[in-house]
Amino acid sequence: MTKLSYLHEPGVLQNLAARYELNKIYTYTGNILIAINPFQRLPHLYDTHMMAQYKGAALGELSPHVFAIGDVAYRAMINEGKMSSILVSGESGAGKTETTKMLMRYLAHLGGWSGVEGRTVEQQVLESNPVLESFGNAKTVGNNNSSRFGKYVEIQFDESGRMSGAAVKTYLLERSRVCQISNPERNYHCFYLLCAAPPEEREKYKLKSPESFHYLNQSKCYKLDGINDAEEYLATRRAMDIVGISEEEQEAIFRVVAAILHLGNIEFSEGKEIDSSVIKDEKSWFHLNTTAELLKCDPKSLEHALIKPLMVVHKEVITRTFDPEAALGSRDALAKTVYSRLFDRLVERINISIGQDPNSKAKIGVLDICGFENFKHNSFEQFCINFTNEKLQQHFNQYVFKMEQDDYKKEQINGSYIEFVDNQDVLDLIEKKSGGIIELLDEACKFIKGTHETFARMLYQTYGKDKRFIKLKLPLCSNFTISHYAGEVTYLADLFLDKNKDYVVAEHQDLLTASKCPFAAGLFPALPEESSKSSKLSSSIGSRFKQQLQSLMDTLSSTEPHYIRCVEPNSVLKPGIFENLNVMQQLRCGGVLEAIRISRAGYPTRRTFDEFLLRFGVLAPEVLDGNADEKAACQKILVKMGLKGYQLGKTKVFLRAGQMAELDARRAEVLGNAARTIQRQIRTYFARKDFVLLKKAAIQLQSCWRAMSACNLYEKLRREAAAALRIQKNFRCFTARISYSALQDSAMIVQTGMRAMTARGEFRFRKQTKAAIKIQAHLRGHREHSYYRNLQKAAIVTQCGLRGRVARKELRSLKMAARETGALKEAKDKLEKKVEELTRRVQFEKRLRTELEETKAQEIAKLQEALHSVQIQVEDANAARKAIEEAPPVIKETPIMVQDTAKIDELSSEIESLKENQDLLIKCISQDLGFSGGKPIAACVIHKCLLHWRSFEVERTSVFDRIIQTVASAVEVHDNNDGLAYWLCNTSTLLMLLQHTLKASLTPHRRRSSSASLFGRMSQGSPQSAGLSFLNGRMLGKLDDLWQVEAKYPALLFKQQLTAFLEKIYGMIRDNLKKEISPLLGLCIQAPRTSRSSLVKGWPIGHWQSIVKSLDNYLKIMKANYVPPFLVRKVFTQIFSFINVQLFNSLLSRRECCSFSNGEFVKSGLAELEQWCCYATEDYVGSAWDELKHIRQAVGFLVIHQKPKKTLNEITNELCPVLSIQQLYRISTMYWDDKYGTHSVSADVIPSMRVMMTEDSNNSVSRPFLLDDDSSIPFSVDDLSKSMHQVDVADVEPPPLIRENSGVSAESK
């Protein structure tokens, strides 16, 4: 804003309001960043893409942003070794806390480093924010999450720039809020979070709803809109885990919080004695016992500490009693002291957990503190906050104003006209060591009977004549007014003394020191012996705060400061409303307007003499020749340029605002003229060189041709009879022609001279005429320009008067910001559907596995029973055999059991053969078997073996798991695209064969038939006895065409696993291609600068050719591995959709991409992609080209020449029918022509777009202007099966390893 032409309050407000209307909430004022609270979520401003853009960018190169301030501080620390401080200030509700979060998040992004125990330092630093917010933030009238304490976070970095530690310091916690709140405010968040905890925890702490506690029901506000206290409680516990607070410490912390709530419900009534009190009723006794139980102390001691304290009189300890009112004060004092100690202990624990780097020399501090406050009733807290802002304002003055004057004095130039308001007299009034307000307050607190009237009289007597101190004229009034830098504030002195006393009652100290809870006892460490006898331990909050503030100022003075001023645009906390008076008051309080005035009034542009001469020496080359005095040379250049108001220092040139731009314009004009002269000479040289070469070649060619003609003519004349006559004739003709040619040449020379004289005269006349026309044109242009400037000034004055009435109407257009709500809802619905689908799939898998385990258990039991029966039969057979051998020979043997034994042997051999065949199959498919006639050999061999072994019909087998494990081990290497394509072809072919072969069993839990068991197959004659020789024949040629096999559960599970692997391999190939082209897309969205200024036609399309090369490489790989064209089309369709999303989103997010030349560059790249699609044919690309419709239409809109002549209907229906009105509006407002200087759409189209966006926002049909990338699997098994041709497995020859084994098997038979 320091570059505004009209530097006054309406101009500043208009600038901020116009940027706020476009959701540009950040604005620079010199090096100061103004952040206006949008009161809505703007996620696109804070994502990782935005962080990457601002990483390493110079301040002012990109749009104003909080990330730019953080990056400047970080780069200064890394490159120059400077320690920086970032001061975030503003009133409550201005967005200081969120700005601090984003700033710390960006610093954590720059200096990320792994910590111990799996936690990172940046995670601990970021998660300390929600922990401190839960215990230090509360709802106020103007803010639902107001920080009731000041915070300074010092982030430490190591030598390499990685985050190595952090320290958190807090200031001035509002202790009185624990006991006193007003409607509609709330107490600290942690009390409400604990009341919303899970039922078992609330029962453990004996908690109920917030309405049942005195410290919470003083206000009728218990819940916040859009906030779930139960979820926030769990989030706070998770944040405490990340920070490093153990479960035991967390339980102790919330035990103390619950004890404070119960302590507030203890009530007192008058006792039997005078000025005494007792516990009021049973309810109060319950809360007292509960408090003692939670703090693990004696209930009787707690009762005496509240109503019967000890007092030391003449070295004697006596017991006195409190009346009910004093007992309530003692109760509240204990609650405030315990909560204050708890908060300090929590901050100390966070610092210990995060850890600090003692060797760190690189630090960045972030200060989050409340701004200037002036309420209807101002007390001690507002006094301390305003004192802090006075100190910070003085630091701001020293940095912005006094440093400016010091620079002027150093260079010995006149800068006395710059004035600023110094607030040192206000600081002396408050913190002066002898007679300051804080010292007088401490003295009043030391008086035994000191009251607020005593304190007020001391102030009136001491500062009655001070111009900064104003005494109210009302009688019997103890209030006083201080004239701060931001205005006058009236303070109520009634509670100054009570709030300034930071004492701990000795009975409270002894009570909690003796607690059996180590955490509670640690809050109150044991006191020295000389202090244990006193009733109170007195100290001053004001003095301690002044020391802390001085320490903070010393820290800020030793670092490089950066300022962020947060502004609250309206008092109703709603988006789209900009209140001028409210904003102007905050800008005055923050010193922003004064900083703008000083920057414009002084010399904002400064250059050393050598830098100035190096840049602007071309404006006066004669000055640099033989002139050794740089200062004199600079003076001559400035005089020659006619500048006024500048000053020359000892080493620098000081220029007023706008003079640097004027010098740059003159320099650009001189350099442009020189460049044109050089180009003219170079072109002349090359043209003459080409002409000379062409002339020499023509003469040589003519000589050769004439020689050949003469030879032919001579030969012809020699052979004729009248050769001599012909020769004489030709000779005479030649002689006559020579004479004629000489005469003709002489005439031509004379004519040439005459014509040249005439042409030169004509040229001189035209040159003079052209010069006169040019002078007339410049004179008329100057006259018209002066008239236009006067007319423009008058129009601006008129506009300033009308903007007040027009502003309210324009605010309605801000409702378009609500369009992001629809996008969030759609994303949420998509995620919920995906979660439900995954949940159903997991439940189905779990149910199938459970059934498989049950089936396995039943089968094992049956096999054990069968084996047991066989063993019994074998034992009976052995016993019978032994009896037969011992019996007489007349007994005849019975070969019954011998047959059973043979069956057992045959079964064993069958099992061994099956295992060998399975091992051979696994060994075979683990190799690259290649293809046979475009068919994958591995898939066909697997299908043949499984079908022949009847593995689909059994209820228990391990061959499926072994095949799946082999496929999984083969695709472990993600970058091997050739291997992935090979297995993509095999899995898709095998899945298609299974789809045609298998049918699901209708009774999956029935008992197995005898033919499906091992004994049944043994009795029927198993086909597995033939080994793998069946693969050499054609007996299974078209088996799946004849019938379908009824599949059991293992086969169905194998099919599901195969489907999952197919989707996984497809996703890996697609993601590898995305990773390969993703870096190139970032280079393809913006044309290089050399290309923009080049005069040669055509664009450098190297990055686009790299993308085409990657696409062609993947296409060749998938073709070589015979991947089904259906899958290839799906891959390239999703890749082209990814290219469309990336290019279109980058186009909408970056203004430098929305130019005419950049549109031509992207259009040329899209032409390369279209040419590749034609080359790849529709069989493998399909409709992938249609996925680029968004970027194609957007680029077409950028490169069209007559945009102002296009109506809104033509743009939305003919040029860009796919783009939404929000997208068209963003492209139209961001467009700029860097080549021809044309304008965007007409002035009537933009308001029409705004009206349509407002209607869409009101109708809740708005959608986000950024596109989403769809990474789901775009096909099903049925789609794949229908798209693939039938595979005849009989034509596939088995691999050599199986053929050799089959031969051995047949030979052994």
User: Catalytic residues, which ones?
Assistant: 92-93, 97, 143, 146-147, 371, 373
Contact 609, 651 (CB under 8 A): yes
Task: Supply φ then ψ for residue 317, to 5 degrees.
Answer: -95, 120
Task: Find tokens 């442009």 and name the residue.
Answer: 672
Pairing of strands 84-89, 560-567: parallel
In this structure, what token pair is assigned to residue 1105?
A: 């050719």
Q: Is the dihedral of CA 704, 705, 708, 710 positive or negative?
A: negative
DSSP string, 669-723: HHHHHHHHHHHHHHHHHHHHHHHHHHHHHHHHHHHHHHHHHHHHHHHHHHHSTTH
SS3 365: strand
Task: Find tokens 């021809």 and name the residue.
Answer: 1236
Residues whose CB is less than 8 angstroms from the CB of residue 1293 and which lie 6 or more positions away in sequence, other chains included: 932, 937
Contact 574, 97 (CB under 8 A): no
Is the N-terminal amide bond of 1004 cis, ω within 30° of 0?
no
- CA 385 to CA 171: how far, in whole Å? 10
| Angle separating helix axes 121-136 and 229-243, nearest 10 degrees | 140
Helix (H) or strand (E) holding 366: strand 362-368
Give the residue from 94, 106, 30, 29 showing the smallest Cα distance to 66. Answer: 106
Task: Supply φ then ψ for residue 183, to 5 degrees.
Answer: -75, 135
Contact 453, 478 (CB under 8 A): yes
Helix (H) or strand (E) holding 812: none
DSSP string, 1032-1093: GS-TTTTHHHH--EEE-HHHHHHHHHHHHHHHHHHHHHHHHHHHHHHHHHHHHSS--HHHHH
In this structure, what token pair is assigned to residue 115?
A: 């910590």
Task: Find tokens 């019997």 and name the residue.
Answer: 476
- CA 1238 to CA 1240: how far, in whole Å? 7
In this structure, what token pair is assigned to residue 1309?
A: 């038979």
Contact 1210, 1248 (CB under 8 A): no
For the CA atoms of the chain, what is the radius of gyration? 46
> Beta-carbon neighbour count of residue 1285 at 10 Å?
9
DSSP string, 741-778: HHHHHHHHHHHHHHHHHHHHHHHHHHHHHHHHHHHHHH
> Beta-carbon neighbour count of residue 885 at 10 Å?
9
In this structure, what token pair is assigned to residue 1015?
A: 């004994």
- CA 682 to CA 1122: how far, in whole Å? 58
Q: Is the dihedral of CA 960, 962, 965, 971 positive or negative?
A: negative
- CA 826 to CA 242: how far, in whole Å? 31
188 burial type by CB count under 10 A (0-12 exposed, 13-18 middle, 19+ buried): buried
Task: Supply φ then ψ for residue 1014, to 5 degrees.
Answer: -65, -40
Residue type for 674, please? A
